[in-house]
Chains A and B, each alone.
Chain A
Amino acid sequence: MARKLLLEHINVPGINTLDVYRQKGGYRAVEKALKTLTPDEVVEEVKKSGLRGRGGAGFPTGMKWSFLAKPEGVARYLVCNADESEPGTFKDRYLMTHIPHALIEGMIVSSYALGAKTSYIYVRGEMMPQIRILERAIAEAKAAGFLGKNILGSGYDLELYVQPGGGAYICGEETALLESLEGKRGNPRIKPPFPAIAGLYGCPTVVNNVESIAAVVPIINDGGDEYMKIGIGRSTGTKLISASGNLVRPGVYEIELGLPVEEFIYSDEYCGGIANGKRLKATVAGGSSVPVLPANLTLKLANGEPRLMSYESLSEGGFATGTMLGSGGFIAFDEDQCIVRNTWNFSRFYHHESCGQCSPCREGTGWMEKVLHRLEHGHGKMSDIDLLVDVSKKIEGNTICPLGDAAAWPVASAIRHFRDEFEWHVKEPIKSLQGNYGIANYAVPIAKAEVKQEN
């Protein structure tokens, strides 16, 4: 059984209450940090742990914290990004529903490290039950003296607020989140300045994912060095993976980074294989924004070595043969799934969620959605496939925020790896409406050799 840090006590009845959480060793990190460590020492521990942002980009959290500007007399803020809206990702909701105190404890320690006197948890508007759970937990923590004035007699004050979002995917982008938190329209800001310099209300701000903040708790309890021993290479610690799709046991799993993908999909400890005895056709390894990979490239790298669940191994081979760990939204497709339809579905999502601020994303996402709709419904043309590649190229990298890239990558990668399926949709429009292309050679290991020669 692999080591669990975040979800260790997930099955303890009443773990969502302060009393039970305390019995299981909760709020030790707050006591340790506030009583024995200086804020800089906490930042140092997090830096040592090698913890990388769990929201998608994988930027080292300790480094992000050390970039925070600390001018005299200006308030600093910590904002927790709980606007989890990526299709395929549901780990933060799970964490907040079942162990809300882990997040609150992490918020207290992190705010202390950053010197923030006011911190916010920005929760996606659709997660109303989680907002109530968090508010109840905050009230409990406040009654027990972990929040408010002079926490545990250390002289440190902290107020923690929960802010429901309006339910826009774009508000998960950190600057759009800050705009929304300020009460404005959630449009991403143009960077620079980065939030570490001028964020919420123009003050230095750190925005972290729920899981990153919760992961600070075991880092402080056990020490950064101990945390670094878990995982592989620069991917340290454990990661929550939201597994969904055609799996025997979909759900949220805590894995040690470095677990082979094959083991994650097929072992009984995790997903237990593909449901209904089908074969794996493709996976999206890190939420809808990352490139989709065929089965053969999911399980093995281009050079034939097994692919591991880690930031580096998943992105091995760049976009030609790799993908990204992203936010850990693992979606598996079996042989009966249609990649064209799925790509259209993702594209429809990005079209709907584009904020409309910058032209390539506003117009391009809609264009791709319309072309993919046509392809999926049997009215496509051969030239549409190249058109999609071209449009995705023109969006990628030319937008204000990463939503443009996130919209372009799934389309570009689907065509890169599943071009014959797209072509089949054009050539056999009637068949494509009635049935599916099937697994073809997407799981056949021969593809590896071809890729090898290209490299």
Chain B
Amino acid sequence: MSEKVKVTIDGITVEVEPGTTILNAARQIGGDIVPPAMCYYSKLEGSGGKCRTCIVKVSKGSEKDPRPMPKLVASCRTTVMDGMEVQNITSPEVIEARSGVVEMLLINHPLDCPVCDQAGECDLQNLGYEHGLQKTRYEFERRTFERIDIGDKIQLHMNRCILCYRCVFTADQITNKRVHGILNRGDHSEISTYIQTAVDNDFSGNVIDVCPVGALTDKTFRFKNRVWFTKPVDAHRDCPTCSGKVTLWYKGEDVLRVTARKDIYGEVEEFICNTCRFDKKKTADWTIEHPTHISDTSVISANHYETLIPLPVIQEDLRLQEANKVELEKTAKF
């Protein structure tokens, strides 16, 4: 391997492999200095560069060429150079430009969080909370679209879409045929499938997980509950098509929703198949591991527990207790 390169982000120096992007270098440091990313997705090749929320200022290009970069750059697509100095939250210019981007993202967003299934785990909601203004300066009618069903399990609510292209990359990378893409251009662009056909693939449900907003929602979970009333639990099953590692979202005894496990940046660890996601909604289908760790800052944590108290359904059923014996005896620590 070639030599590691040094990069300083907001005064914190880190050594990373050459070819790492500024965003990934920042993620290695972690904490507040990580730029938000709405369109970049580390598991999707070619993603990033579009939403512009991750813009940062490069105040020193590199050791060899110390000139600063003339414009703010998208940190998800700019690779680090040795000796590069980057300003993210320490630069007022970046903060202002980012709040400008957030404002742009919100002007055509319906802000229907009270009826949106994504509320509570929405990247745009978090971003709006951090950077958004309290009042909009946009006084015109927002653009609207009809809702489209992509297959019988996924619904596309184009009004909420921020055109991050993540689902397009997902659909491109899980299937051989190009069936899912963008129609039209400018602010009337819309995500669509080829003449409204379904994305016919075992992994098509992952477009729901990659969507940073509530544009693509799970029809089996639609309007069932608010995410902060549900309790996430990590579980697995022996699945022939995927890894079978998922998060189950419980309300009482019922599994309302199955999603892939997500890391702290909201990215799935492994893509899961549609059978796991849509069809296996009984506790008996799964081996429970432990409660999913939820960040304290998330609204979901408000009603959440960190140690495993066996669910009522397990407490009553000896067979289930036996099946989950190992997991139940574990002391979950985070």
Q: What residues of chain A have their CB less than 8 Å away from a CB belonging to chain B?
A: 168, 170, 185, 190, 351-360, 362-367, 370, 387, 393-394, 397-400
Contact = CB atoms under 8 A, between A and B. Distances in A.
Contacts of B74: 190, 400
Given A355-B185, A358-B51, 4 more contacts: A356-B185, A356-B189, A398-B101, A400-B74
B185 to A, nearest CB: 5
- Ordered nearest first, which 10 A-B pairs have the shortest CB separation? A394-B100, A356-B189, A190-B49, A363-B104, A354-B186, A366-B187, A397-B71, A356-B186, A370-B140, A356-B185
A400 B185 CA distance: 15
A366 B186 contact: yes
B186 A359 contact: no
A360 B52 contact: yes
A356 B182 contact: yes
Contact of B49 (A358, A360, A367, A370): A358
Contacts of A398: 52, 55, 71-72, 97, 100-101
Contacts of A362: 104, 163, 186-187, 189
Interface in B94-142: 97, 100-101, 103-105, 107-108, 137-138, 140
A305 B67 CA distance: 33
14 contacts: A185-B182, A351-B186, A353-B186, A356-B163, A356-B189, A359-B101, A360-B101, A360-B104, A362-B163, A394-B101, A398-B72, A398-B97, A399-B52, A400-B49
Interface in B46-102: 48-53, 55, 71-72, 74, 77, 97, 100-101
A227 B254 CA distance: 80
Given A366-B186, A387-B137, A394-B103, A359 B49 contact: no
A75 B31 CA distance: 45
A360 B77 CA distance: 17
Interface in B276-314: none
Contacts of A399: 52
B331 interface: no
Nearest to B48: A190
A356 B162 CA distance: 10
Contacts of B187: 351, 354, 356, 362-363, 365-366
Contacts of B137: 387
B17 to A, nearest CB: 18
B181 interface: yes
B124 to A, nearest CB: 11
B100 A360 contact: yes
B121 to A, nearest CB: 21
Q: Most chain-A Cβ atoms within 10 A of its Cβ — which of B55, B181, B185, B188?
A: B185
A170 B186 CA distance: 11
Nearest to A404: B52
Contacts of B71: 397-398
B184 interface: yes
Contact of A352 (B77, B186, B189): B186
A408 B138 CA distance: 17
A359 B51 contact: yes
B140 A359 contact: no
A108 B165 CA distance: 39
A358 B103 CA distance: 13
A359 B105 contact: yes
Contacts of B165: 357
Given A168-B185, A185-B182, A400 B101 contact: no
A182 to B, nearest CB: 13
Nearest to A405: B71
A393 B105 CA distance: 16
A367 B185 contact: no
B189 A364 contact: no
Interface string B160-199: 0011010000000000000001101111110000000000
B90 to A, nearest CB: 19
A384 B52 CA distance: 25
A394 B97 contact: yes
Contacts of A366: 108, 186-187
Contacts of A393: 100
Given A354-B186, A360-B100, A398-B100, A367 B52 contact: no
Contacts of B105: 359, 363
